[in-house]
Structures are given as structure tokens and as C-alpha cells.
Structure 1
Amino acid sequence: MKKLLLFSLILALSFPSEINAQRKKSKKNQTEETTPKPEKSKTKKYSDFVTKKTKTDDGLFKVHNTDNTYIYEIPKTLFGKEMLLVTRIKDIPAGLGGGYVNAGSKINTQVVVWEEFQDKILLKVKSYDAVANDSLPIYKSVKANNLEPILFAFDVAVQNLDSTAVLVDVTKFFTSDIQAISPLPDSYRKRYKVKRLDASRSFINSIKSYPENIEVVQDFTFDADEAPSNSSTNTITLRVNQSMIVLPEDKMMPRVYDKRVGYFSIGNVDYSSEALKADEKRYIRRWRLEPKDINAYNRGELVEPIKPIVYYLDPATPDKLKKYIKQGVDDWAKVFETAGFKNAIMAKYAPTEEEDPEFSMEDIRYSSIRYVASTTRNATGPSVSDPRTGEIIESDIIWYHNHLRSYRNRYLLETGAANPSARTLDTSAEEIGEMMRMVISHEVGHALGLPHNMAASYAYPVDSLRSGNFTQKMGIAATIMDYARFNYVAQPGDKNIRFIRQLGPYDHYAINWGYRKIPDIKNPEQEVKTLDKWIEEKGDDPVFRFGGERFDPSAQTEGIGNDQVKASTYGIKNLKIVAKNLPTWTSSQTNNYEDLTELYGELLSVWSRYVGHVSGNIGGVYEFNKKPNQTGNIYIPVSKEKQKESLAWLHKNAFETQDWLLDKNILANSKEDGYTDLMLSLQNRQLNSILNITTLKRMIDAEVIQDNYYSASDMIRDVRTGIFTEANYVRNVTLFRRNLQKSLIDKLGVLLVSKESKNTDISSIIRGELAMLNFQLTIARNRGVNRITKYHYTDCLATIKEILDPK
């Protein structure tokens, strides 16, 4: 029995331990069975990224697309190669940018390079603002002080099969909100209160690879509290095109910029110079034109270029306008013959989808003329250039649909008095086409590298613009690049007049200077002697002058002829005829007042421009760009006689009430009120032009370099006595004159307290003239004038007292 109890006790003590041991063992086995063993790292292979499902597009890079994951296969030979990355809008929501941004608008241009760094591929932005020869020691310092920003860092996915290229996933790069390639600059983000990019509504539309470039189309959708259109959606969606094109290794030799001939330019600071400072170098922007037969070219024969400049017309262009747009491009072919090139530029119709399914207006290999469905009245001629040399790579000229309406209106207003065919709202298709042709020619000029040359309209004598023989041969300005749109000088009865602008002699001269190949030249500096000679051969001939500074009255926009007083006198004489007939030519024909109201508003603007041309003489300074070996000074103030003549003209044609502009039949049928404010605003524009700090300071400075100068003191006195003429006589002051006189006092008051006039003669002159006016009006108030004139003078005196003795 004892043995049995002892055995039971031993069994009872040992059993739980076995149970626990079994439990522990069970848990251990369970852990081993349920926890997966870590796999050995598996190296990714090329076939993991390029599968049977992958669609591959071969070109500059191979682009692999697998279920909308995009992989670039970048050849190692292209690492370090400079490429141009151009961001432009492909499709745009209505109203973005206030109407001046459109499909095809360029947003950003930057030079980029792909580089290997450790296990990454870097996309870096390269700048050419500072340069140095890489063989010089200072090159290291230039690099160290101009570190290139990294736009994006990509993980290397894998190498290709023969290790000549690497694969990187670019999906995230093209679907993220990266400012450098974004279609929305900071100003738009603030304007439309953009919160964020919505990734769920943003994606890559397509990526296509071509031999020299890659084109990416993205859809970006942003949350925005104040979207420009469809505002209830709080959404802005844009379609963007990213073009990346490899830049040529055989760089075009740049041509040194010269401010005496108008060209857009690129510039940098060159630290390779042996001078005692870094050289600021500037080169013109131009297309690369190389003759097919250089020997024939050097013999003076016309030779075709290896690669001509070709523009493709937007398929969206209305059929009836295509021929005029094409002519506007083709007209420049004759100009390039002056530079020795035949068939150098041309327009072509874009291929159909059947002819070329890969053709795209956004493809950076093609230059285009875009026709934009927009109410904006404008046209532009931007281009993309190589920042290393100034070589123009591509350009997209943009025409806005409503722009022709502006030209129809201006044609009627500026030429209608002397040109019977302009006296209608239904301008003939041929004349409208001719206007469009010349606008396109103007924008092509920009795309060729030529900026505005506002001095060209000053080259022709005013009375020559009334000659049929002269205008048919020479046009109305020496270049198409001036804003000289119509001949408003020609008078009724003048015969065979050309009223619309055209290409001129300066265009031939400028293209020859910028594009003609100079033989036996190895660097840009060697060309300068010849380029100088071409300029100096023209001497002081105004036909070949370039200018455009706002202080220069001979380089004003919209002006024609070499005498602003004479030209504007002719222009206003014509405008009075038009104003008298405006209802007959508009509302009487349409049986509504819409066109009359629109044209009346534009007529006031035309009048303001004519008057403004004369105002520009007051305090004006002519600029004649020269080098020291040329005779004469660069800056010459307008003569005292011309300035005094101009101010006398302004008193008669602007500051005296222009009753002919206030046609009761037009005003009473166009707006319910604001008639007095309207006239005052027109007069104030001219008053502000001549009574501003910059103008007055130029007049004071003229005393230093001009013997017979028109002083600021004399000018302000002449303004005061002219505008307050009634105070010298027993005359009542009319409504419009009362407003103008008060405005003059206010303007003088602003000048007196201006920080810029402090410690200059300006404050002294203003204080003295206000004191004289105070004396003059005190006497005038007590003469036999009517009640409102007395009240007016009393009010003026109170204002003067507040200005001179502020409490």
C-alpha cells in the first residue's frame, strides 16, 4: 500500500512538468510553423521591369510603360550631356492668366543633365550665367561658386542586359508637384488660392521618345479656392507638355551682340577674361543657318541652307485665313536672300494623322503657328534658344482669334478719313488678310531674334507718308518690327496710298547683320570688325537706326513720321472726320449701338495716343547708340524750341476742352453717366506724362549738357499759365476746365510732398508756382465772373493753402 501511495505521489509530482514541457514544445513548434522564414534578397532583373506586357518606345531613351508605370532606359553615353527641358501648356482652362496665357504657352526653359551618383541617377539644372574655360584654374572656382541644383534623384532600378544603360522609374517625378516643371507659378497659386496637387486626379497622359527628344504629356489637377473658370468645382486642371531635347555638341558659333542693331540676346559673366574684371558677354539669339555649298556662298551666290526654318500651321486655323498666315512667314524668304540664303524660311500645312500619326504641335522638333480660341486680342512670337550660344531651337507663334477685330477697328478709325474702303464694319477679306499677314510677319520677326524697333517709324518724313509712290515702295516705317500699324497721316484726296504696314529696308539690314556668314572666322571676337563696318557704312541714316527707350520721343509706340507735332496734327484732323461719321458707319448700318460704343471708346484711345506722341517731346532725350569712333553724342535732349512748340500744341489740342470728342448723340446712346470724368481722365493722362518726377529730373539734368535748354521752371510756369488762362481775363471757367484746373493743383501738391522731389529744384519750383497761382486766383476771384467760377476759385485757393501750409 505504501509502495502504491509513493508511486502515486511521484506520478502526481512529475505529470505537470511533462504537461508544461509538452505545452512549451507545442508553442515552439507552432512558432516555427506559422512564422515565415526570411527570404534571401532577390536581385531585380531587367525582365522584372520589361515584361511581355510592357510597351516600349525607342528614341533618345527607350521609354518602357507597364501598366502606367514609366521607366526610362538611359544610355550611359548620355550622362553629362546637356539637354534643354521646356515646359509648356498643352491644354488650358478658360480664363487662366487673364486671357494672356494659352495652349502652347511656354512656362519654363532650363538646361539639364543626367548624372550618376552612388546608387542614384540625378537630374540637375545647369546654369550658364557664369562661365570659364575648363582648362583654366579659375574654372574650379566658378564651379564651386555656382553649385547646380538637383531637380530630382532617381533610384537605379537595374542596368540593361549589356550594362550600357540604366533603368529609372520616372512615374513619381512626372506625377508630383515639382515647381521647376509645374504649369502654375507662385503668382497663379496665390491668385487662385491653390491648395495642393491632387494626385488621384493627376497622371501621365503619354510619353513618346524620338531620336533627339522625349515628349511627356501630363494632366495636373489642383485644388483651388478661386479657380478661374468652373469655380464651383474648386479645381484647376491643366494638360502640360514637357519637351527634353539633347543640345548639339557642335555648338553654333555665337555672334557678339551690338546694341546698335536690334536682337534679343543671351548673356553671361566670363571669368576667363584677362582683364581686371570678369567680362559680361552677350550674344544675339538667331537660328543656325549653314549654307549647303559654302564655296558658292562665299562667291556671293544665293545658297539654300542645310536646314531651313520651317513653321507648321495649326490644323485649327480657319481655312480662309491659312494663305495669309503662310504668306506672313514666306515674306521673310526674300529678306534672307539679302543675307545670301535662298529658301531659308517657309510655312507648311501640318501633316494629317494619316500622313504622320506621330506629329504633334508640342513636339519641340517642330516650330508652329498656333491659332488660339480666345477672346484676347493679341499675337506673340516667342522662341526657345540654347543658352550656351543663342541658337534658336524652336518657336511657336501664337495668334488669338479676336485679334482681327482690333485691326478692323483701328483700320476704320485711323484711315477712314482718307481711305473709303475702311469706312465699314465689313472690311473686305483681302484687306483683313493683308493685316493678318503683316501681324504674322511681325511675330515671325520676333521668332527670328528681332525685338521691337520703335525708332524705325521716325525714319520717314511726315509728308512722305502722303505720297503714293513713297508708301507703296517704302511702307510707312523702315521695319515691320515697329508698332506702326496704319498710315494715319495721309489726308483725304491723297492718291495710291499704302495704309497698312509692310517689311522694310531695316529688316533686310538687320537679318543680313545677324545671319550672314563671315568667311575665315574662328571665334566670335574675330567677327566684330566686320560687323562694326556694316553698321558704320550706314552712317547716320535713320532708316537703319535701332531704338526703343521710353524717354526717347523718336522711338514711341504707334507713332509714324519724324515730327510728332505735324503727324499728330494730321492724325487729329482725320480723327475729327471719323468721329463725325462714326454713327453713320456703325449704328446706322447695324441698327444697334454695340459697335458704335466699342469704336467710340477706341477712338478716344487713338486720340490719346496721338496726343501722347507730342507729350513725349517734353523732357525727352534722343538716344543714338554709337561707338567712340563715330561722331556725335549718344544722348541729346530735345531742343528748347521743339519742347515749347509741343506744349503750346498740347494746350490747344488736349488741355482746351475738345468738344468734338463729346458728341452728344454718341454719349447719350453709349453710357448713362461719367462724361465729365471721361474728358478729365484723357487730359490727366497727358498732364501726368509731363508733370512727373522722371521727366522733371531729365529737364533739370539737361541744364548740364545743353546750352539752350527748356528749364523745368519755365515748363511748369507755361503749364500753369496755359491751364489757368481764364484767370488772366474776365472769363468764366467752364465745367471741364474747372475739373482740369483742380487736377493741376492736386498734381502740384503731390509733387511737392514727394520724397523724390525733396532736396531738388522740383519742390522749390512747385512751391513758387503755387504761390504765384494763389496770387493770380485771389485777384481773379474778385472780377466780374459768374457764381460757379467764384466758388471754383475759392475752392482752389483753399486747396493751395492746405498744400502750402498743412495743419
Structure 2
Amino acid sequence: MKRILALCLLCVFCVTSTTHAQKRNKRKKKGVPEKVEKTENKEKKDKKDIKDYKDVVTKEAVTDSGLFQVHRVKKTYLYEIPFNVLEKDMLWVSRIAQIPSGLGGGFFNAGTKTNEQVVHWQRFQNKILLKVKSYRNVADSTKAISNSVRVNNYEPTLYAFDIKAFNEDSTAVVVDVTKLFSTDVKAISGLPSFLRKQYKVKRLDASRSFINSVKSYPLNIEVKQDFTYDASEPPTARSTESISLQMNQSMILLPEEPMQPRISDPRVGFFTVSQYDYGSDALKADEKTYIERWRLEPKDPEAYARGELVEPVKPIVYYLDPGTPENLQKYIKQGIEDWQKPFETAGFKNAIIAKDAPSPEEDPEFSPEDIRYSVVRYVASTTRNAVGPSVSDPRSGEIIESDIIWYHNHLRSYRNRYLLETGAANPSARTLNTPDEEIGEMMRMVIAHEVGHALGFPHNMAASYAYDVESYRDGAFTQENGIAASLMDYARYNYIAQPGDQNIRFVRQMGPYDHYAVNWGYRWLPNAKTPEAELATLNKWIVEKADNPVYKYGRQSSRFDPQSQTEGIGNDPIKASTYGLKNLRYVAQNLPAWTSDQTNNYQDLEELYGELLGVYSRYVGHVVTNIGGVYENLKNPDQSGVVYTHLDKNAQQESMQWLQENLFKTQDWLADASILQNIDHAGYFERMRRVQSRYLNGLLSFDRIGRLIDAETINQEYYSAYEMLSQLRKGLWSEASRGQSVDIYRRNLQKSYVDRMQFLMTDDGPPRRRGRPGFESTFVYDTNTSDIKSLVRGELTTLRSILRNAKNGNVNRITKYHYQDVIARIDALLDPK
């Protein structure tokens, strides 16, 4: 009986086991492992989260149609994204729409761009990803290497959204973007990390932050956000411990077919975009650099080909900020449309147009932040500046939109410099109330300059070197040519013209280089179907003009090049600065009469005296650049001559002598007691020391001395580092050689010299080049193995010997003390034991 019972139990167990095994085998036969079954269950659950369209976009929804349909359901914002725009490139631009006073130290304003990035929307399972895309590394998609480029440049995900619904015909997907625009997403925030640190920002306060509006247009979507941050040290209204600002997020669909790019040439100045092309036939990652420019194509290509002026299909239009003062509007419009003439040189008429902003009745949706509009923004700010930024398509360099920023107090900068730099030869500048037409003309030229940046042009600092110094005293020449060959130079005023010179133009204007550069960058070349096909024509245009200095481009970053100097004019810095200082002495003598005597207070006198020191400093700086100066004349190998040429020895020696006379010798005219004793109770000698020490340190820099040493490897006859240091020492310490007492200004300067020489003896020099690639200006080398420390030791040893004799001479007591102190400092440096 027991045996029968056991047998029955065994049969039941076998049947049960077989049943379970059969079920498992069935699953295996169907290819559905247990893990997959769990995944399927999860997917079923996820699909339940995708609701019917009508349950997401409810009857309460307020819909705005455009690039995407945007739905607002109470406080929720939904994007209905068509499948046919997924993976398409869009430019996302973040701007400040409203800003608290003082944020960013005055250089942030309504209209400031805080970020620019290419994005695309991508589907992944039941999510939509907002991906940030880079065109820095590229390859033709038909080549195998494009896969390597893709996997080695994985795109960051800016945000991930759950799919909420599909539209009724399943051609679009609906996502909730409320959190994207109501939380603190750093990549689109108006507060960069350095400002967060400066103002001790703790967090975004969600209770005081909200989406202001979301508007959809055919090619773009514009979002306004109001953000309030908790901050321990806000720039203004500190008791609130808060920073509130309004951001505008613009997203615009980039052209399906990018504009044909134009390959950059460093001999013509343009802002650029660069890519590394890994699909190139070159045996490297081939860097390709394209100029930034607007897309201008002729309405009538046949007429354009015949040489007729033709309007572009889409002109460049700038709108005036609705807040622009009425009395300045005409000058801003003139500054914008001054570029029409250079565009005519390129074959286009009415290529750039200024318009008033539409009224709310004419266009209730117009907004300066809308990326469809380029605007000259007028900023109520005490900042003295103007800028011309733009946004461009990184695939081609096509400029999509730009805003010119004019800060209100910039007018005061131009009034002050007009008085200081031209007042000696220009009677109408000798006032605090500059005539309206003259200040308007200055503003017009500044606006035109900033528009030039927005058209793609950087500063051309060689343009003012194109004209002979004496030409600036010729009325007919200045009226025709202005004061530089390009408006894009930092050459604001004619400070060379002397009292009695007639019919002088003192303010800059458009020049021949501007016409040349517009033609080079914007002329339409229909027969060239690729960027490479344009190169022969573009090179030919450059070579044709290469020997004419008015068509030379000089990079702003070339601090070593006497031809390319900020705020300089004329082709001889010594002669130009001599004229400039002669005029500045006249202005200094008359400054109280033109300011405090008229206003019965000293505020303007103090302000203008401080700026006068700045003008003096610039004139001096232009001559300093000659020491160790290297001319940079960019050219290709098929052009004759070399790119870099050292300034000749005589010119450098003459420059050092000029500096001894006009910088290091005490400038009594700058220490006018009738000014100093009315603007401050102290600090008179320190003002002078700062100016003198700035340029003394510049002369005694590793960079400059290194270039002088380097010049000896090219030609032993060049001005050497030893000759420069010897000439400098003899001039700075001339009282010791002549047995004279030393005044307070010179004592300060001489101690500054010893401090700087100590720096050269003990520091290892800059660790790396400064600046962007291709724009380096600091020469980096091993200072310990160079001649620098040997030269410094030799100079200090010689100086110590001279001072040991001089301290026992017929000099006053403070000079003796001064020499004893300097000797002790040198002893401590050379013989520390």
C-alpha cells in the first residue's frame, strides 16, 4: 500500500513538472525569455502613460500655431512637435529681456545674448530628447569616418520629455515643456556661473518664477520667462536678497540647405566659424574656416551679372528700439544706411535698411527679442560702450540676426574725448555742451562701426596707419579720406591737426577698405558652385590690392605691430604722438576755463582730468610698441617678401629717447596744482607713478625682451636687448651720472624700475601664450636658460656701482636716502646671503 501511494505521488509530481516545463519550453520556442516578458509589461505600462490627444490638449487649451503648435492648458505649456521637424537643426538663442540695474557690472543689458547653441529634437522610445548639436567636428555622411565622428562627439541632452500624446493623425507628438522653462536650466539661464558666485546665488525661487509667454511663428518660437533667484549679495536692492530678470528664449529653424560658405582669408578681416573636416582628403583633421556674413542674393541675377545694381532677395533690416530718444533717431538711421554705399560696390542696392519699430497697433506681437528682427537697442545705462554682436549658422557662417547695443552714457565718452583730443585745433570742441550736429555725427559713426561688426567685420587696426601723419593737417585730404582707411579701426578723432590748420575733418568716416572688404565678402559669384571654386577669384582680388596700404588688414591682437595699434592714427607713432602731446598740453592749460569756470563746480574738471591722463597714456603707448616692434604683413607664399619684419634699430633708439623725454622725465604740465588741489586731497604723485610704471613694466617684460633677443638671431645689427636695457638705465638714472638730486616723481619711478628688475630675476615668465589660436601675441620661452637674468644681473651690478659713488656726491638728503635704499634692495637681490 505504501508502495502504491508513493508511486501515485511520483506521477503527480512528474505531471506537474512536465506541465511547467512545457510552459517554459513554449516561451522559449516563442523566443520570449522572462526578462523580455518583464520589459514587455513595463512597455505596456509606459504606453498607458501616453494618453489620448483630447485628454492632453483639452478643450481649455489656448493654441498658437507656427513652427510647433503651442498649447497652453491653464499653467501647463505643451509643444506639439511634427515628426517632419525631428532631427532638424535649430538655433537656440538665450537673451536677457529685462534686467536689474548693475547686473554684470554694467555690461549686461536688455538684449544681451547669454548663450547660442544648435539643438535638435529627437525621439527615443517614449521620450523626446532635446539635444545640443555641435558642428565643430564634421564628415561627409556618405563616408565611413562619419560614424567615428558621431560616436566620438556624443551630443549632450539638454532635456528629456515624456511623450504625453500623439496628435489625431499621428503626425506629431505632444510633450510638456513647462518644467524646461520654469526651472533653473543652466544652459539657457541668464546667470552664468561667475555671476552666481559673485552675487552668492543660492537657488531659483519657484514661487516667484514663471513662464510669461510662449509664442509660435512659422520659423521660430519665442519664450519669455520671469526668474527670481535667492542671492545673498545682489547688485541692487540688497535688502531683498533677490535677483529678478526676464529671459527670452528664441528657437529658429535653420535653412534646410545651408548657405554656401565662403572660405576665410586672414588677409581680409572677417569674424569666422571653424570646423574640423575628418572626411577631407588631407592627411589630417582638416580645419576649414568660413567667414560670417548675411545671405545676400540678387533678385535679378542676369542684371547683376551685367554689372547693374540689384536689390537683394532679402535685405538686411535694422529696427530702432522703441525707447530711442527722438533727437538721436536720425543719426542712428544714417549710421545703419551708411553701409549702403559699400554694398553698392558689391553690386547690391538697398542692401541694408533702417526702419522704425512698428507700433503696437501696427504689429502687436513685435518684440526686440524676437530672433526674426535685428534691432538697435538703446540701453538706459551709465555704462559707456556700444557693441554689435550677431548670431550665425555654424554650418555656413550665415548671420541670422544681430542686435546693436548702444549705452546711453556713451555719448559722454565721445564728448569728453572730442574736447581732449581735438580741443587745441577745434574751437567747437572747447565746451561741455558739444553742438548737436557734431555729437550726432559722432554717434552716427559709432553706430556704423557697430553695424560693421554685425556685418561680420572685426576691427582693422592697420587702417589708420595707411595715411601719412602730415596728411592729417591737410583739410582737403581729411574731408575726402577721413582719418583712417576703414571705419572699423579704433581711430576716433584727428588729434594730429594743429591750431590754425583749416577745414579739418576731426571725426572718422567710411573708408576705401570698407568698400573692398564688403565686395570681397559679399559679392555674389554664381559660377562658383563650391567654396573651393571661389578661391582663385578671391585671391586675385587680394593680390591686386596687396601693395596699397589702404587695403591692408591689421589684427587687433597684434600688440607687437606698430602698424596695428588701438586708438593710433598716422604712419609714424613718434611724429603723431609728438603732435598729440603738443595739443594735449594746450588742452591741459585750458581745462579749468572750459569746465569748472563754466559750471561753477569741479565734477567735470575731475572727470576730464582723469580721462586726459588716459589720452596721454595712449599717445605714449603708441611709441612704446616700437620697442621690440615687429611688422606683421600677412601674405601667401606667392607674394614677395616675408610676413614678419623687425623694426629698424634707429627707429627703436629714437623711440627710447622719445620715451625718456616724454614719459620718464617728470611731466610738470600734468602735475598742475590748480587742477590737482581742486579735485582731490591726496594721491598726486601716485597718479603719475601709475602711468609711468605701466609702460616701464611693459618695456621690461619677458615678451618684449624676448623679441629683442630673438631679433639678434635674424640680424646682429638689430636693436638688441642689451642696448635697450642699457639705454633705458642711462636715461632713468641720469641724475646719478650728473650728480643731481632726484625729485619725488623720479624717485618713485626709479624704485619701480628696481622692483621690475627683481621680478625679471625671480619670475619664470608666462607659462603659455595668451589669446585665441592664430592671435597669440605673447612670446613664451625658457627664461632661465635665456639671456634675460644675465642681462638683468649685469644692469643691476652696473647701477649699484654708479649709485655707490653718487650717494656721496653733492645731492640733497632725501636723494642720499633714496640711493642707500636702492643699493640695499639690489644687494638683497644679488647677494641674498
Do structure 1's residue 578 and structure 2's residue 578 form an aligned pair? Answer: no
Output aligned runs, 1:213-292, within 5 Å. Answer: 213-292=220-299
Distance in 1, matches of 2:813 and 2:363, equals 81
Which of 335, 342, 350 is the matching residue for 1:343? Answer: 350
- CA positional deviation for 1:729: 1.4
Distance in 1, matches of 2:349 and 2:568, equals 34
- CA positional deviation for 1:707: 4.3
- CA positional deviation for 1:539: 2.3
Distance in 2, matches of 1:352 and 1:714, equals 68
**542-551 or 764-773, larger mean C-alpha shift:** 542-551
Output aligned runs, 1:501-580, within 5 Å. Answer: 501-548=508-555, 549-580=558-589
Output aligned runs, 1:616-695, within 5 Å. Answer: 616-695=625-704
- CA positional deviation for 1:433: 0.3
- Tell me the secondary structure at the aligned position of residue 575 of structure 2: helix
Q: Which residue of 2 aligns with 1:193?
A: 200
Q: Which residue of 1 aligns with 2:774?
A: none
- CA positional deviation for 1:166: 0.9
8 A Cα contact 1:617 1:638, kept in partner: yes
Distance in 1, matches of 2:785 and 2:96, equals 51
- Tell me the secondary structure at the aligned position of residue 626 of structure 2: coil
Do structure 1's residue 386 and structure 2's residue 412 form an aligned pair? Answer: no
Distance in 2, matches of 1:640 and 1:42, equals 81
- The 1:587–1:104 alpha-carbon spacing in structure 2 relative to 1, beyond 3 Å, is same
| Amino acid across the alignment from 1:57 | D
- CA positional deviation for 1:708: 2.1
- The 1:42–1:695 alpha-carbon spacing in structure 2 relative to 1, beyond 3 Å, is closer
Which of 436, 441, 459 is the matching residue for 1:429? Answer: 436
Do structure 1's residue 737 and structure 2's residue 746 form an aligned pair? Answer: yes
Do structure 1's residue 50 and structure 2's residue 57 form an aligned pair? Answer: yes
Distance in 2, matches of 1:342 and 1:192, equals 49
- Tell me the secondary structure at the aligned position of residue 140 of structure 2: coil
Distance in 1, matches of 2:194 and 2:812, equals 55
Which runs of 4 or more aligned residues in structure 1 lie more than 6 Å from their structure 2 counterparts after TM superposition? 40-43
Do structure 1's residue 319 and structure 2's residue 326 form an aligned pair? Answer: yes
Distance in 2, matches of 1:681 and 1:246, equals 52
| Amino acid across the alignment from 1:303 | V
| Amino acid across the alignment from 1:769 | E
8 A Cα contact 1:616 1:689, kept in partner: no
Q: Percent identity?
A: 64
Distance in 2, matches of 1:586 and 1:780, equals 45
Do structure 1's residue 804 and structure 2's residue 813 form an aligned pair? Answer: no
Q: Which residue of 2 aligns with 1:793?
A: 819
| Amino acid across the alignment from 2:383 | T
Distance in 2, matches of 1:44 and 1:796, equals 85
Q: Which residue of 2 aligns with 1:35?
A: none
Distance in 2, matches of 1:211 and 1:247, equals 12
**735-744 or 304-313, larger mean C-alpha shift:** 735-744
Q: Write the deviation string for residues 164-209 of structure 1: whole angstroms up to 9, x where unpaired.
A: 1111110011111111111111111111111111111111000000
Do structure 1's residue 294 and structure 2's residue 301 form an aligned pair? Answer: yes
Which of 371, 376, 381 is the matching residue for 2:378? Answer: 371
| Amino acid across the alignment from 1:511 | V
- Tell me the secondary structure at the aligned position of residue 668 of structure 1: helix
Q: Which residue of 1 aligns with 2:100?
A: 93
- CA positional deviation for 1:278: 1.3
Distance in 1, matches of 2:686 and 2:490, equals 29
- Tell me the secondary structure at the aligned position of residue 338 of structure 2: helix
- Tell me the secondary structure at the aligned position of residue 477 of structure 2: helix
Where in structure 1 are there 5+ consecutive unaligned residues? 1-37
- CA positional deviation for 1:741: 1.2
Q: Write the deviation string for residues 704-762 of structure 1: whole angstroms up to 9, x where unpaired.
A: 12342110111011110001001111211111111111111111111111213322101
Q: Which residue of 1 aligns with 2:810?
A: 784
TM-score w.r.t. length of structure 1? 0.94
Do structure 1's residue 699 and structure 2's residue 699 form an aligned pair? Answer: no
| Amino acid across the alignment from 1:778 | R
Distance in 1, matches of 2:316 and 2:241, equals 43
- Tell me the secondary structure at the aligned position of residue 553 of structure 1: coil
- Tell me the secondary structure at the aligned position of residue 346 of structure 2: coil
Distance in 2, matches of 1:209 and 1:62, equals 7
Distance in 2, matches of 1:457 and 1:286, equals 24
| Amino acid across the alignment from 1:768 | G
Do structure 1's residue 589 and structure 2's residue 615 form an aligned pair? Answer: no
- Tell me the secondary structure at the aligned position of residue 180 of structure 2: helix
Which of 93, 105, 123 is the matching residue for 1:116? Answer: 123
Q: Which residue of 1 aligns with 2:469?
A: 462
**569-578 or 795-804, larger mean C-alpha shift:** 795-804
- CA positional deviation for 1:495: 0.5
| Amino acid across the alignment from 1:630 | Q
8 A Cα contact 2:50 2:163, kept in partner: no
Distance in 1, matches of 2:832 and 2:727, equals 26
Q: Which residue of 1 aligns with 2:138?
A: 131
**319-328 or 52-61, larger mean C-alpha shift:** 52-61
Q: Which residue of 2 aligns with 1:17?
A: none
Q: Write the deviation string for residues 125-172 of structure 1: whole angstroms up to 9, x where unpaired.
A: 110010000011111111011111111111111111111111111001
Where in structure 2 are there 5+ consecutive unaligned residues? 1-44, 766-782
Q: Write the deviation string for residues 354-403 of structure 1: whole angstroms up to 9, x where unpaired.
A: 01101111110000000001000000000000000000000000000000
| Amino acid across the alignment from 2:563 | S
- CA positional deviation for 1:117: 0.9
- Tell me the secondary structure at the aligned position of residue 669 of structure 1: helix
- CA positional deviation for 1:519: 3.0
- CA positional deviation for 1:42: 8.8
TM-score w.r.t. length of structure 2? 0.91
Q: Write the deviation string for residues 499-530 of structure 1: whole angstroms up to 9, x where unpaired.
A: 00011000000000000011311100010110
- The 1:501–1:43 alpha-carbon spacing in structure 2 relative to 1, beyond 3 Å, is closer
- CA positional deviation for 1:555: 0.6
CA RMSD of aligned residues (A): 1.2
- CA positional deviation for 1:51: 2.5
| Amino acid across the alignment from 1:443 | E
- The 1:501–1:344 alpha-carbon spacing in structure 2 relative to 1, beyond 3 Å, is same
- Tell me the secondary structure at the aligned position of residue 554 of structure 1: coil
Distance in 2, matches of 1:206 and 1:42, equals 27
8 A Cα contact 2:546 2:552, kept in partner: no
Q: Which residue of 1 aligns with 2:450?
A: 443
Q: Which residue of 2 aligns with 1:759?
A: 785
| Amino acid across the alignment from 1:367 | S
Distance in 1, matches of 2:205 and 2:574, equals 59
**283-292 or 681-690, larger mean C-alpha shift:** 681-690
8 A Cα contact 1:86 1:110, kept in partner: yes
| Amino acid across the alignment from 1:777 | L
Distance in 2, matches of 1:120 and 1:90, equals 31
Distance in 2, matches of 1:157 and 1:439, equals 51
| Amino acid across the alignment from 2:662 | N
- CA positional deviation for 1:44: 2.3
**703-712 or 721-730, larger mean C-alpha shift:** 703-712
- Higher-Rg structure is 1
- CA positional deviation for 1:795: 1.3
Q: Write the deviation string for residues 52-93 of structure 1: whole angstroms up to 9, x where unpaired.
A: 321110111110001121011111111111100100100011
| Amino acid across the alignment from 1:791 | Y
- Tell me the secondary structure at the aligned position of residue 134 of structure 1: coil
Q: Write the deviation string for residues 403-428 of structure 1: whole angstroms up to 9, x where unpaired.
A: 00000000000000000000000000
- Tell me the secondary structure at the aligned position of residue 356 of structure 1: coil
- CA positional deviation for 1:803: 1.2
8 A Cα contact 1:637 1:706, kept in partner: no
8 A Cα contact 1:56 1:64, kept in partner: yes
Distance in 2, matches of 1:121 and 1:52, equals 24
- Tell me the secondary structure at the aligned position of residue 239 of structure 2: helix
- CA positional deviation for 1:41: 6.4
